[in-house]
Amino acid sequence: MKKKSKLKKAIIIFGITFLAVVAVLTYFAGTIEYMLLPRVSVANIESGQISGEPVTEQGVCLVPNMSVVESDGIAYIFILYPREDNTAYIEEVNVQVRDRNNMYCEIKLDPTFTSYSVVYETSRDLVNGDKVVVEAN
C-alpha cells in the first residue's frame, strides 16, 4: 500500500512539473525564438556610380563590398524587409556586378529594391526567407 501511494505522489508531482515546464516554455517561446535568431548588420543602398558620375539608368547603386556573394557568375545580395518589434526578414535578390573598388561595389538591381537596406554581416547562417534581428551598428 505504501508503495502505491508513493508512486501516486511521484506521478502527481511529475504531472504538475510537466505542466509547469510546458507553461513556462510556452510563455517564453517568443523570448527564446528571439534569442536564437541571427543578428545582422545592415547598410543603406545608395544610388550612384563608383566613377562619381550621375546615374543614368534606373537601378544602378552602390553597396558595401562585403554584402555581395558570387558563385559561378551569378551574384546576389540579401535585402532586409523590416517588420515591427525589431525583427525583419531577408530576401535573396539577384544582381549584376558592374564595377568595384576596395570599399564599394557598383551593381544593377531591380529598381523596386533600391529603397531597402542590405545585409553585410551576420552572426549565423542565412537562408532566403529567414527571420533576423537587426543590430544597431
Partner 1 sequence: MKKLKKLKKLPKYILLAAIAAFFLFPVIYMLAMSVMTSEEVSRILDFSSDGFKSIDLIPQVFSLEQYYQVFFRRADYLLEFWNSIIITVPTVIGQTVVCALAAFAFGKLEFPGRDKLFFVYIILLILPTQVTLVPNYIVLNNMGLLNSFLAVILPGMFSAFGVCLLRQSVRYIPDAFIEAARMDGASYINIFLKIILPQIKGGLVTLFLLCFIDNYNLIEQPLAYFNDSEKYPLAVTMSEIGVNDAGIVFACGVMFMIPPLLIYYIGQDDVSSPFTLSDKG
Partner 2 sequence: MFRKIIRFGFVFIITALLGILALWVPLNAITQIPNIRIQNRVESKSGLTVKEIADFLDEKVLSEVAFSADGEETEVKGRSVVPTAVNEDYFALQKFNLNGKNFTESDITDKSTKAIISETLARKLFFNKNAVGKTFEMNSKVYTVCAVFKEYEDIISRCSADGKDRVFIPYTGMDYAKLTVDTVMYSNTNDNIKITLLCSEDYSGTNLIQKNKVLQNFINILKAEAFILLATVVIKIIILITRQVIQLFKKEIKNRYFAEIIGNHKLYIFSRVLAVIAAAALLAVVFIVSDFEIYVLPYYMAEDNIFDIPHYISKIIEASQNGNSILIAGDTYYNNLYTLSFVISLFSAILFAFMIIVMYKQILCALKKLRKTGQK
Which residues make up the interface to partner 1 (CB under 8 A)? 4, 7-8, 11-12, 14-15, 18-19, 22-23, 25-26, 29-30, 32-33, 36
Q: Kindly state the smallest distance separating residue 30's Cβ from partner 2, in Å.
A: 25
Q: Which amino acid is at 107?
A: I
d(CA 96, CA 98): 6
Q: Kindly state the smallest distance separating residue 105's Cβ from partner 2, in Å.
A: 9
Residues in the chain, overall count:
137
For residue 118, state whether it binds partner 2 (rule: CB under 8 A). Answer: no
For residue 69, state whether it binds partner 2 (rule: CB under 8 A). Answer: yes
Which of partner 2, partner 1, none does residue 69 bind to, with CB < 5 to 8 Å depending on kind?
partner 2
And the C-alpha cell for 84?
A: 515591427
Residue 59 or residue 75: which is nearer to partner 2 going by CB?
75
Task: Let me know: does 67 contact 120? Beta carbons within 8 Å.
Answer: yes
Which of partner 2, partner 1, none does residue 12 bind to, with CB < 5 to 8 Å depending on kind?
partner 1
Q: Which amino acid is at 126?
A: L
d(CA 51, CA 4): 85
Please pick, from the candidates 32, 35, 127, 136, the single residue that binds partner 2 as defined by CB under 8 A. 127
Task: Let me know: does 89 contact 129? Beta carbons within 8 Å.
Answer: yes
d(CA 90, CA 88): 7
Binding site for partner 2 (CB under 8 A): 64-66, 68-72, 78, 102-103, 119, 121-122, 124-127
